[in-house]
Structure formats: C-alpha cells, structure tokens
Amino acid sequence: MKKNIRIYFYVFSVLLIAGNMFLGKETSASTFQDVPGQYQREISYLFTNNVITGYPNGEFRPNQAVTREEAATMIGRALKLDGTRQKTSFSDVGSESYASGYIQSAYQKGIIQGDGNGLFRPYDNMTRLEMAYLIVRAFNLNETSAVNFTDMPTNPEAAAVVNKLKTAGITNGYPGNVFMPNKSITRIEFALMVARALNAEFRTADETVKPVTKYVTADVLNVRSGPGTGYQIIGKLTYGSAILVTGQSGTWYAITYNGKTGYVSSAYVIDQPTQTTPPNQQPSKKKTIAVDAGHGGSDPGASGNGLVEKDITLDVATRLQKYLTDGGYKVVMTRNNDTYISLDERVNYAVKQGADIFISIHVNSYTGNSANGTESYYYNGGNHATESKQLATFMQKRLVNELDTTNRGVKTNTYRVLKTNTIPATLVELAFITNSEDAKKLGSATYRDKAAHALYLGVIDYDNWDGNN
C-alpha cells in the first residue's frame, strides 16, 4: 500500500511540474511579481490569449529553463493546434502526456522534429537554436538580411534560421553581438519570442532610427503586420504616399500606420517625393508580357511528392497574371486552363499578340531527391541575347530572394521556346518537385504566390533596366 501511495505521489508531482506552464487562470498576469516591468505587456498578452499561465503561487519564474514538451505546448496553443491527447509518432511521448496532442499536431505540420531516432526527448531543455527552428517553421519566417552574430552556427542551415529570426525582429541576441545558440532558453526568453512572433507591435528592430518621412514608389504598397511577405496585410498605400519611418528590420521599414506599427518593403520607398502620377497612368507605354505556363493537358511535365508540374505552373502563371494586370501591364497567357499546346504554338501566339517579353514557367526534377534550388535560362544567340540574359538574371534574383531556395544560377540553353523566340525570353525552373523541401514550397499556396510576386518584380526590374538602356 505504501508503494502505491509513493507511485501516485510521484505521478502527481510530475504532472504538476510538467503542466505548470499551462494551468488554469488562478494566477493573473498582473500578479507576476517576478516578471521585469519592461516585459509585462508581452507576458500579459500571452496570458490573456491563453498561451501561457503562471504557477499557483503567483510566480512566473522567468529564468527557469523550458523543456521541449513545454515549448511544443506553447507553440501549439499560440497556433491553436489540436491539443487533444493522442498517440504520437515518438516512442518517448505516450498518449497520456499532457503535451501529446500539441506535439503530434506540430509534428504533422512540419513544425517540430525528433532526434532522428524516433525520439522527441520531451524532458530535455530546449536550446535557443532549437527555439529558432521552432519559431521560424511555426510562423513561416523567410526574410533574411545582413545578420552577423559573432557566434553564428557554422552549419549553413542553422545560420540561416538564426538570420531569419533576427531579421523578423524576434530577437536581438545578447550584448556583445552574440546569440548563444546552445544555451538553454528561459521561460521569459521563450515567452518574448512567441509574443513577438504573434504580434508585430512587440518586435525588435535591427535599428531604431530617428523618425523620418519617406515616399512610396509602388502603385500599391502592402503594409504588413511584420517584416516579411509571410505576415498579414493590414493596409495598402498608394503611389507617392508620405510615410513616417520609425525603424528598420532587415530590408523592411517599420512605419506608423493608423496609430500602430506596420511594415513595408524598403525597395519601394524613397527619400524624396517624385512625380505625382503613378507609372501605369503616365503616357509611356507599359510592356505586354507573355506568360507561359509550362506543359498542360496530355503533357503533365514532371511529378513528385504528390505534385504535378502542369498544375503548379498554371497556378503560378495565373497569380502572375493578376500581379501584372494590377500593375498596369497587358498580359498574354499561352494557356489559362489544362490544355496541351505545342511549343511553337506558344511562341507564335505570344509574338502575334504583340508581346514584348516571354516568361516560361517550369519546375525541375532529378532522378534522386538531393538536387534542389532555382535556376533561370536564356538563349545565348539571336538578336535579343543581351536582353534575354538580363531578363533571366532579374527573374533569378527575385525568385531566390522570395522563395529562399538554393541559387543554381542563370544558365544558357537551346530550349525551343527560347531559341525560336523573336522577343526577349526566359525559362525559369522554380524549384525541384523531386526534392522534399522544395516540393513543400511548390505545393504551398503561399509559396506559389511568392513565386508569382517574384516574377512580377523581375518584370519591373527589367522594365526599369530596359527604359534606361
């Protein structure tokens, strides 16, 4: 009998300790006496939104280390994942674990991973680098900038994750320009990162600048809740609008918008006001763009990871058509449905319709799954080799930046839609459908839209270059 009592007491104690971060609201956020005053807003925000709670005695214990199962639970609550206790894919996380539902839900969405041996290690302390991976995956952070912590991980993938976390304004690291990737993350550090990921008002900036007025150069410029295209659009600004810049995070400006903090891409902002008429309303002629969705109909193209090339290319082409149309361009679509069209027909139709440039959209494949990344092609012959090379170069730069893929470079080829074309032309390979990581992006509506937006920006880059040459 005494043995059973001891076992019961042990189980009760473990559950109490493990679940303390997620207890009911007996404790009010305002009573966390051990939370530094400068962090009360973030902690109260998380508490109010049921992401965290404190201990029954009113403490938050900000300097206590966070375990991997606690981290998975907080992320799960932040993303409103299914927390119902369930069987997991990890042998060391049983269905009786309070975190099992969140761990399995996050695993299924690719947010968390095990150790490669079928284990999750739920009771291990989470490191700051592991947290960086968790936040970047959970909130789809993809923007990078010139981040130079002195202790950046030597592994390129890990370094990129830390870069994205810093660029998004989730952390500024420690004094002395260090990140300390292998240090166990504390409850306060974890909470602050989650709060900043959820709410842009809490984010740090790479640089706090003296408020200065700048001006919008895009016809329509999206204002986002955070520094990146993955964040929610909270408003739009029109050409020539004056904005008050209050900070900078990577390539994004923090601005004051409707009394709150918003973010705009610095690429479409200048220091001085320019012409008052938007470019698409000026007398100068906008180019006609031929958009060619590769393959179609009886020609499916490449396939892999449950995806088919002809479906991806048509989706991206349709999204690009909208971007171009909204930007004032005339668009010629070689196909706008699942139809087979020969290569010569595509080229001839575009030329007859008066297209000025030709963009053929494809995805790549390989016999193995290791090949990955983005590449763009042009034909190094004919009367438009220089223009075609420049067009391909602009497309490649924009695609790699938006998709965060490996840069395989700009290359020459004699593809028929390039060689027989009488106008500047490029063929882009967005990513590898046979590579699991690339395929995740190709199958994502978000990344397909990023690809379309990148191609649109490439058109603008080429248009500006062509107008000055």
Residues in the chain: 469
Euclidean distance between CA atoms 19 and 245, whole angstroms: 43
Q: Which two tokens stand for residue 13?
A: 């104690």
Euclidean distance between CA atoms 377 and 155, whole angstroms: 30
Euclidean distance between CA atoms 77 and 98, whole angstroms: 13
Which residues are known catalytic residues? 429
**307: exposed, middle or buried (Cβ count in 10 Å: 0-12, 13-18, 19+):** middle
145's CB contacts (< 8 A; 6+ apart) are: 163, 166, 167, 206, 249, 250, 251
Euclidean distance between CA atoms 138 and 158, whole angstroms: 16
Q: Which two tokens stand for residue 48?
A: 């109010």
For residue 118, how far is the Cα from the chain centroid?
A: 28
Euclidean distance between CA atoms 84 and 100, whole angstroms: 8
DSSP E strand stretches across 179-294: 207-216, 220-224, 233-238, 242-249, 252-257, 260-265, 269-270, 288-293
Task: Identify the three-state secondary structure at position 359.
Answer: strand
Euclidean distance between CA atoms 61 and 77, whole angstroms: 20
* DSSP code string of 133-167: HHHHHHTT---------TT--SSHHHHHHHHHHHH
Side chain identity at 469, as an amino acid letter? N
Residue 67 has a CB neighbour count (10 Å cut-off) of 20
Q: State the helix-helix crossing angle for 309-326 and 445-467, rounded to 10 degrees.
A: 50
175's CB contacts (< 8 A; 6+ apart) are: none
